[in-house]
């Protein structure tokens, strides 16, 4: 049985806590929690207790090394704020632990190089939790392209829509500051850029991006005639009837994890999406050229009426299309099985000289279209041979964030960014 320590006991941590204390309790044991906030760690232990598992010891962030020394975990799970991932990953590796980290692996090249250095120095492993790879519909796209169903792929259009519940949530919490998350091109789009690398079996060569804050933020709201503002929902009358406000006191999970924990760190989970201080974009367009000469146009908009994607592949023998609608959700605000679960998904193949047909696949149950459960089985179970090679290491983590990092540089400097400009690419190419 492997021992695990988990650092960062916010909303995403519950996925791993419930898996380790539930279905995979014979394979894994949580021995320690680490966080800046004791209240949230108490909630984490409450989840263990609910599952009948023994409580884990709790350690403040400043005690991370002491925790590693005292509890001797085999693997550390990192689910903290994005900009701190590299710090905990590097220290865990040097303590002799392997690491499972939430996406994105980190938010910039400098931090990614620190992780690569630590891996080379210690020989330990880093896994990146790309649950979307494991969803049956995304795996089916990989299978169809690997089987040459539409021949050589020449171009892709990939459109991701975030709705006014889930999309708005990135503008209420720490993600709204680019210094914390790298912006949506890194925090959210790392999923999509990883899927493209996974689907195409290639990596980008050149990236050009445009983006801006067009819907959220105080200035945009003022332009639309809004005159009543508030800094956060809790305690402000102006938020009462605002459909964009998050009322944590009405949700037991959010209240326990965040509202009841504010006295320790002054972290406000319910900031107004129309307040000042937002430094990430909500409207993004990216043009990517891949090493195998595929061209991709990509867009991400965070304020739309439905959530999901449209992706199309144009090839030498036809066209492949997928339309997917996900259920709306707020992180840690409801049943975990509903987070990113599917309302509908169609995959259609359009052969060049034959009638179109629907691809046959099973819609996965649970979070992220079945991706969560399949990924957890791979992480904590006994993984067998996987011809699709869905497990993602630090290389996959690095190459997925580099597309977003290049996009951020492109927007800032108003120019195309070549992947050969990154030291990280040269370092990984030699591996």
User: Which of these, 107, 105, 137, lies nearest to 308 by C-alpha position?
Assistant: 137
48: in domain: yes
User: Could you report the per-residue pLDDT of 180-211, keeping only the tens digit for each?
Assistant: 999 999 999 999 999 999 999 999 999 999 99
Backbone angles phi, psi at 332, to 5 degrees: 65, 15
270: in domain: no
Last residue of a domain, one of 130, 159, 192: 130
Same domain membership, residue 338 and residue 225 = no
Same domain membership, residue 293 and residue 404 = yes
35: in domain: yes
402: in domain: yes
CA distance 425 to 421: 8
Same domain membership, residue 212 and residue 223 = no
pLDDT tens digits in sequence order for the chain, 431 residues long: 999 999 999 999 999 999 999 999 999 999 999 999 999 999 999 999 999 999 999 999 999 999 999 999 999 999 999 999 999 999 999 999 999 999 999 999 999 999 999 999 999 999 999 999 999 999 999 999 999 999 999 999 999 999 999 999 999 999 999 999 999 999 999 999 999 999 999 999 999 999 999 999 999 999 999 999 999 999 999 999 999 999 999 999 999 999 999 999 999 999 999 999 999 999 999 999 999 999 999 999 999 999 999 999 999 999 999 999 998 878 766 676 767 788 999 999 999 999 999 999 988 878 888 899 999 999 999 878 899 999 999 999 999 999 999 999 999 999 999 999 999 999 998 65
Backbone angles phi, psi at 334, to 5 degrees: -170, -160
Same domain membership, residue 88 and residue 180 = no
* HEC letters along the chain: CEEEEEECCCCCHHHHHHHHHCCCCCCEEEEEEEECCHHHHHHHHHHHHHCCCCCCEEEEHHHHHHHHHHHCCCEEEECCCHHHHHHHHHHHHHCCCEEEECCCCCCCHHHHHHHHHHHHHHCCCEEECCHHHHCHHHHHHHHHHHCCCCCCEEEEEEEEEEECCHHHHCCCCHHHCHHHHCCHHHHCHHHHHHHHHHHHCCCEEEEEEEEECCCCCHHHHHHCCCCCCCCECCCCHHHCCCCCCCCHHHCHHHHHHCHHHHHHHCCCCCECCCCCCCCCCCEEEEEEEECCCCEEEEEEEEEECCEEEEEEEEECCEEEEEEEEECCCCCCCCCHHHCCCEEEEEEEEEECCCCCEECCCCCCCCHHHHHHHHHHHHHHCCCCCCCCCCCCEHHHHHHHHHHHHHHHHHHHHCCCEEHHHCHHHHHHHCC
Residue 327, pLDDT score: 87
348: in domain: yes
Same domain membership, residue 90 and residue 146 = no
Q: What's 173's domain CATH number?
A: 3.30.360.10
Residue 175, pLDDT score: 98
Same domain membership, residue 73 and residue 57 = yes
Last residue of a domain, one of 68, 96, 130: 130
Last residue of a domain, one of 130, 157, 190: 130
User: Could you report the per-residue pLDDT of 298-352, keeping only the tens digit for each?
Assistant: 999 999 999 999 999 999 999 999 999 998 878 766 676 767 788 999 999 999 9
Domain that holds residue 243: 218-264
208: in domain: yes
Same domain membership, residue 290 and residue 192 = yes
Backbone angles phi, psi at 344, to 5 degrees: -160, 155
Same domain membership, residue 369 and residue 391 = yes
40: in domain: yes
Same domain membership, residue 67 and residue 33 = yes
115: in domain: yes
Q: Which residues contact 70 (CB under 8 A, 6 or more apart)?
A: 57
Number of structural domains in the chain: 3
What is the radius of gyration, based on Cα positions, of the chain?
21
Residue 328, pLDDT score: 80
Same domain membership, residue 285 and residue 187 = yes
Same domain membership, residue 374 and residue 289 = yes
Q: Which residues contact 292 (CB under 8 A, 6 or more apart)?
A: 200, 201, 202
User: Which of these, 397, 429, 408, lies nearest to 103 by C-alpha position?
Assistant: 397
Helices 85-94 and 109-122 sit at what angle, rounded to 10 degrees? 10
Same domain membership, residue 282 and residue 159 = yes
CA distance 74 to 97: 5
Q: What's 98's domain CATH number?
A: 3.40.50.720
């Amino acid at each position: 049985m492997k021992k695990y320590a988990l650092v960062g006991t916010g909303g995403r941590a519950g996925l791993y806590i419930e898996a380790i204390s539930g279905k995979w309790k014979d394979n894994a044991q949580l021995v320690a929690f680490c966080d800046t906030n004791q209240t949230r760690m108490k909630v984490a232990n409450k989840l263990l207790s609910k599952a009948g598992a023994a409580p884990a010891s709790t350690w403040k962030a400043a005690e991370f090394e002491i925790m590693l020394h005292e509890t001797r975990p085999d693997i550390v799970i990192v689910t903290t704020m994005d900009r701190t991932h590299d710090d905990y990953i590097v220290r865990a590796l040097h303590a002799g632990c392997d690491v499972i980290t939430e996406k994105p692996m980190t938010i910039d090249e400098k931090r990614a190089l620190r992780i690569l250095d630590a891996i080379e120095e210690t020989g330990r492993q880093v896994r990146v939790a790309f649950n979307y790879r494991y969803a049956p519909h995304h795996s089916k796209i990989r299978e169809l392209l690997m089987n040459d169903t539409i021949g050589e792929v020449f171009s892709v259009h990939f459109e991701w829509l975030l709705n006014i519940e889930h999309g708005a949530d990135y503008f209420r919490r720490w993600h709204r500051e680019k210094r914390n998350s790298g912006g949506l091109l890194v925090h959210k789009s790392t999923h999509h850029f990883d899927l493209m690398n996974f689907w195409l079996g290639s990596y980008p060569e050149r990236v050009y991006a445009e983006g801006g804050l067009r819907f959220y933020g105080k200035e945009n709201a003022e332009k639309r005639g809004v005159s009543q503002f508030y800094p956060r929902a809790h305690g402000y009358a102006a938020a009462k009837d605002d459909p964009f406000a998050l009322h944590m006191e009405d949700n037991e999970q959010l209240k326990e994890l965040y509202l009841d924990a504010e006295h320790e760190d002054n972290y406000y989970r319910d900031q107004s999406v129309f307040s000042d201080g937002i430094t990430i974009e909500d409207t993004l367009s990216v043009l990517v050229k891949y090493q195998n000469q595929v061209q991709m146009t990509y867009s991400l908009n965070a304020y739309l009426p439905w959530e999901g994607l449209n992706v199309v592949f144009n090839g030498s023998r036809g066209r492949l299309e997928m339309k997917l609608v996900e259920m709306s959700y707020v992180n840690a605000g409801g049943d975990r099985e509903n987070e990113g679960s599917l309302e509908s998904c169609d995959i259609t193949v359009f052969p060049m000289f034959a009638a179109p047909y629907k691809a046959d696949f099973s819609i996965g149950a649970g979070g992220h279209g079945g991706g969560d459960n399949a990924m957890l089985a791979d992480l904590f179970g006994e993984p067998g041979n996987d011809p699709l090679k869905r497990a993602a290491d630090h290389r996959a983590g690095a190459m997925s964030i580099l597309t977003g990092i290049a996009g951020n540089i492109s927007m800032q400097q108003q120019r195309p960014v070549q992947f050969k400009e990154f030291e990280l690419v040269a370092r990984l190419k030699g591996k």
